[in-house]
Amino acid sequence: METASHIQDLREKLERWNYEYYVQSAPTVSDFEFDQAMAELKRLEDAYPQYADPNSPTQRVGSDLSNDFRQIPHRWPMLSLGNTYSAEEVGDFYHRVERALNGEAFDIVAELKYDGTSISLTYEQGRLVRAVTRGDGEKGDDITANARTIRNIPMVLHGDFPADFEMRGEVLMPWKVFDELNAQREREEEPLFANPRNAASGSIKLQNSSQVAKRRLECYLYYMLGDELPADTHYACLQEARTYGFPISDAVRLCHSLQEVMDFIQYWDTARKQLPVATDGIVLKVNSLDQQRRLGFTAKSPRWAIAYKFQAERALTRLNSVSYQVGRTGAVTPVANLDPVLLSGTIVKRATLHNADIIEGLDLYIGDQVYVEKGGEIIPKITGVDLDARLLVGDKVRFIRTCPECGTPLVRAEGEAAWYCPNDTACPPQIKGRMIHFVSRKAMNIDGLGEETIDLLYSRGLASNVADLYDLTLPQLASLDRLGDKSGRRILRSLEKSREVPFERVLFALGIRYVGASVAKILARTLGSIEALASADRAGLTAIDEIGESIADSVTEYFAQAKHLELIARLKAYGLQFACEISDEPRTGPLSGKTIVISGVFARHSREEYKQMIERLGGRNAGSISAKTSFVLAGENMGPAKAEKALALGVPLMSEDEFLKNISS
C-alpha cells in the first residue's frame, strides 16, 4: 500500500509541475528535480506493473506500439464555422443575432482562431478517457495515445469539474518547432510541411506516439460540451475550465457591443504576429448558452458563432516558369519563378511548390496570376491561383517525369510525396551535393572547400566522389581559378586533419539517406564500427533505440552496394576513422550479462519500454536470435520463424508476465 501511495504522490506532483511549466509557463522546480521524480516514478511503475495507469505522467513520452485509429462517433457533431472576411460581414452577423433574439441584450465572446487541427477530449471523473479528431464531423479517429503526449493537455483534472464532459480545441505546432522540424527535414531531404497546420495534423496522426511526443505539439481549448456544465455562459465555462487545469487562451474577451468586437479584431490583426503559434482569424460566439440553444444550428454550422478570417500577408504575381532542383539524395524539389513582387518587406522572385501533389492540387498554368504567401515560414510559397485572371492559358504545369540534370526517369517510393532521381552515380548535383555535404562543418569540416571549389573540381574532372578529395595534389588545387598556393595548402592541411574526425561524424558525412547527425551518433556508439554497421540486418538495426524501419532499410540498401563498400575501403586506406568505443558503462543489475531478443506484441508495456527496461536493468537488446541469446521476451503473435529458430538453438522463451515477475523479485 505504501508503494501505491508513493506512486500516487509522485504522479500528482509531476502532473502539477507539468501544469505549472506547460500551461502557466511558471515552473516552480528545476528540470533536474522534475527529471529525478520522473525517473523514480518510472522505476516504481516498471517494478510494480500492477499499478500501471495510462494517465500517468510517464506516459507522456508515448510508445512505439503502432496506433490503430479506431473510428469513434462524436457524441455531439463537430461542426465548422461560417466565415466572414470584412467588418461589414461581422456587422451583418451581429445584427442577425440581434434580430433573431428579438432585440434581447446579448454579449459576444471574441477569441483567436487558432490555425491547427481540431480535437475533442472526453473526461470522465476528471480523467482523460478519449481524444478524437474531427474526422468527417460525425465520427473521428481515436488518437488518445497521441494526445497524451501533448504536454499541456491535462490527463487528470483538479477542482470541481463535471463528472462527464468534452473539451474541444485546437492542436498546434508552435512556429519555432515548425521551423526546426522543416530545417531538419530539409537537411535530410524529406518533403517539407507547407505550414504549421499541416505539420500539426500530420503529427497528431502519426502511427507511433513516441514520435508524436517529439513533435512538441501544443493545444488550446475553446469549447466545453456536456449535459451538466459548470456555468450558463460560454465565457464562465472557459474560466472554470481554466481552474481544472486546461490551457485556455488569455486572449478571450467578453464584448458588450459591436464596437468592442471590432476593437478586438483590430488589435489582434497586428498583435497576433508576435504569438508563438499560428492564428488565421477571430471567432465570435454568443455568450449565453441559453441564447445559443435558441439560435441553434444550420446543417453545417452554429448560428451563434462565426469566424472572421484575417487577410494573410500575400501578394499576387505572375508565374513565369517552374524549375526543379535536385538535391544530394536525388530528391527533386519544384520551385516557381515569379515576376518580382514585394511581400512583407522583401522582394520575392522564387517560391517553393513543395512537391508533385501540391502542384497537382493547385492546377497551375504558366502565366497564371498566383498568390504568394510568407506566413513566417523560411521560404515563400504559392498558395493559390487567381482563376478570374486566367486569360491566355499557357502550358499546364506538370511535375517532370525525368531528372532535369541527367534525364533519368524519376522514381517515387510508396507513400512518399517526393520524387527521386535514382542515378546517384552520374547525376551531377547528386555527386556535387554529396561532396558538399561531406566537407560541411557538421560533417568532416574541411576548410576552404566551398560549393564553388567543389564545382570546379568536379567540372575539371579532378573529383567525382568524396574519396577523390584525398587524392588531390597541391599543383592541382593551386591551378584552379581564384585558388592560389596558400588556399591549396590550407585545403590539404584540413583534409589531413580530417583523419581525426570521429567515426560518428564520418558516418554522417557519408550522406546515407535518413542518417542525420543524431542517427549517425546512435549507430556509431551502439555498433562501434563500420563493419558492424555494414553487416547488421534490418532486425538488428531496428532493435536499436530510435532506429526505425526507414532508416534500417536505407542503411542496409546502402551497404548492399559494392560501390559504397569500395568507397569506404578507399577512405579507410586514407586513414579516416571508421570505429569508436561502444559507449556503454559497465552493466550492472539483475539482467547484466543477458542478451535478450524482444518479439511479438505486448499488453502491459510497449516494446520500446521493454527495451529501455532491459537496458536499465543491465541487459542488452539484440535484434535477432543467435546462440548467444539468453532468452526471448515473447509477446503475442511472435513470428513463426523466430519461434522455430529459438527452439532449434535451445533459447528459452519468456512471457511478458513471467518477465515482469522475475524482474520485480
| Catalytic (active-site) positions | 113
Taking the least distance from each CB to ligand IVH, the nearer of 114 and 558 is: 114
Taking the least distance from each CB to ligand IVH, the nearer of 168 and 620 is: 168
Taking the least distance from each CB to ligand IVH, the nearer of 15 and 170 is: 170
Site for ligand IVH, residues 467 to 496, rule: CB under 6 A: none
Site for ligand IVH, residues 422 to 451, rule: CB under 6 A: none
| Whole-angstrom distance, CA of residue 467 vs CA of residue 457 | 13
| Whole-angstrom distance, CA of residue 153 vs CA of residue 244 | 11
Place of cell 543524431: 518
Q: How far is the CB of 131 from ligand IVH (least distance, A)?
A: 14
Which residue in the shown chain puts its C-beta closest to ligand IVH? Answer: 118
**DSSP code of 399?**
-
Taking the least distance from each CB to ligand IVH, the nearer of 13 and 253 is: 253
Strand partners, 120: 132, 168
Give, in degrees to the nearest 5, the angle at Cα 291 between 128 and 304. 75
Q: How far is the CB of 134 from ligand IVH (least distance, A)?
A: 6
Residue 81 makes contact with ligand IVH by CB under 6 A: yes
Taking the least distance from each CB to ligand IVH, the nearer of 255 and 356 is: 255
> Which one, of 230, 222, 351, 242, lies nearest residue 282 by Cα?
222
Calculate the alpha carbon distances from 231 to 168, 238, 241, 478 in Å: 17, 9, 10, 80
Taking the least distance from each CB to ligand IVH, the nearer of 218 and 609 is: 218
Q: How far is the CB of 109 from ligand IVH (least distance, A)?
A: 9
Residue 111 makes contact with ligand IVH by CB under 6 A: yes
**DSSP code of 529?**
B
Taking the least distance from each CB to ligand IVH, the nearer of 279 and 621 is: 279
Among 42, 74, 113, 272, binds ligand IVH (CB under 6 A): 113
Q: Which stretch binds ligand IVH (CB under 6 A): 84-92, 112-120, 365-373, 457-465?
A: 112-120
- Residue 663, all three cell numbers: 524482474
- Residue 195, all three cell numbers: 505550414
> Which one, of 113, 120, 80, lies nearest residue 251 by Cα?
113
Helix 607-616 to helix 31-47 angle (10° resolution) is: 100
Q: How far is the CB of 338 from ligand IVH (least distance, A)?
A: 30
| Whole-angstrom distance, CA of residue 429 vs CA of residue 299 | 54
Site for ligand IVH, residues 289 to 328, rule: CB under 6 A: 302, 305, 307
| Whole-angstrom distance, CA of residue 456 vs CA of residue 352 | 28
Q: Which stretch binds ligand IVH (CB under 6 A): 29-37, 111-119, 189-197, 603-611?
A: 111-119
Is the distance from CB of 278 to CB of 115 less than 8 angstroms?
yes
- Residue 544, all three cell numbers: 536499436
| Whole-angstrom distance, CA of residue 332 vs CA of residue 407 | 13
Taking the least distance from each CB to ligand IVH, the nearer of 172 and 436 is: 172
Residue 368 makes contact with ligand IVH by CB under 6 A: no
Q: 218-225 and 164-172 as β-strands: parallel, antiparallel, unpaired?
A: antiparallel
Q: How far is the CB of 20 from ligand IVH (least distance, A)?
A: 24
Phi-psi sector, 250: left (phi>0), alpha (psi -120 to 50), beta: alpha
Q: Which stretch binds ligand IVH (CB under 6 A): 50-58, 79-87, 227-235, 537-545?
A: 79-87
Question: What phi, psi does 206 have (nearest 5°)?
Answer: -65, 150
Among 17, 114, 193, 514, binds ligand IVH (CB under 6 A): 114
Taking the least distance from each CB to ligand IVH, the nearer of 74 and 113 is: 113
Element at 66 (helix H, strand E): none
Taking the least distance from each CB to ligand IVH, the nearer of 81 and 663 is: 81
Taking the least distance from each CB to ligand IVH, the nearer of 114 and 514 is: 114
- Reduced to 3 states (helix: H, G, I; strand: E, B; else coil), residue 99 is helix
Question: What phi, psi does 113 have (nearest 5°)?
Answer: -100, 105
Among 72, 128, 217, 283, binds ligand IVH (CB under 6 A): 283
Give the count of residues interacting with ligand IVH (CB under 6 A): 14
Q: How far is the CB of 113 from ligand IVH (least distance, A)?
A: 4
Q: State in Å, rounded, how far the first CA of the chain is from the last one.
A: 17
Contact map string, positions 237 to 276, toward ligand IVH, x by CB under 6 A? ----------------------------------------
Q: How far is the CB of 598 from ligand IVH (least distance, A)?
A: 39
State the amino acid at position 236 in one-letter form.
Answer: A
Among 24, 28, 71, 80, binds ligand IVH (CB under 6 A): 80
Site for ligand IVH, residues 167 to 226, rule: CB under 6 A: 170, 222-223
Contact map string, positions 17 to 36, toward ligand IVH, x by CB under 6 A? --------------------
Q: How far is the CB of 281 from ligand IVH (least distance, A)?
A: 8
Q: In the chain, how many H helices and how many E strands?
A: 24, 21
Q: Which string of DSSP letters, residue by residue, matches 164-194?
A: EEEEEEEEE--HHHHHHHHHHHHHTTPPPPS
Strand partners, 219: 171
Query: Which segments of 80-223 does DSSP mark as H helices, in order?
Result: 87-100, 144-147, 175-187, 196-204, 209-214
Q: How far is the CB of 594 from ligand IVH (least distance, A)?
A: 50
Calculate the alpha carbon distances from 453 to 179, 424, 448, 466 in Å: 30, 21, 8, 13
Q: Which stretch binds ligand IVH (CB under 6 A): 78-86, 334-342, 429-437, 473-481?
A: 78-86
3-state DSSP of 224-263: EECCCCCCCEHHHHHHHHHHHCCCCCCCEEEECCHHHHHH
Q: Which stretch binds ligand IVH (CB under 6 A): 73-81, 100-108, 391-399, 418-426?
A: 73-81
Contact map string, positions 381 to 420, toward ligand IVH, x by CB under 6 A? ----------------------------------------
Q: How far is the CB of 230 from ligand IVH (least distance, A)?
A: 18
* CB neighbour list of residue 400: distance below 8 Å, 6 or more residues apart: 324, 332, 410
Q: How far is the CB of 118 from ligand IVH (least distance, A)?
A: 3
> For binding to ligand IVH (CB under 6 A), which residues are involved?
79-81, 111, 113-114, 118, 170, 222-223, 283, 302, 305, 307
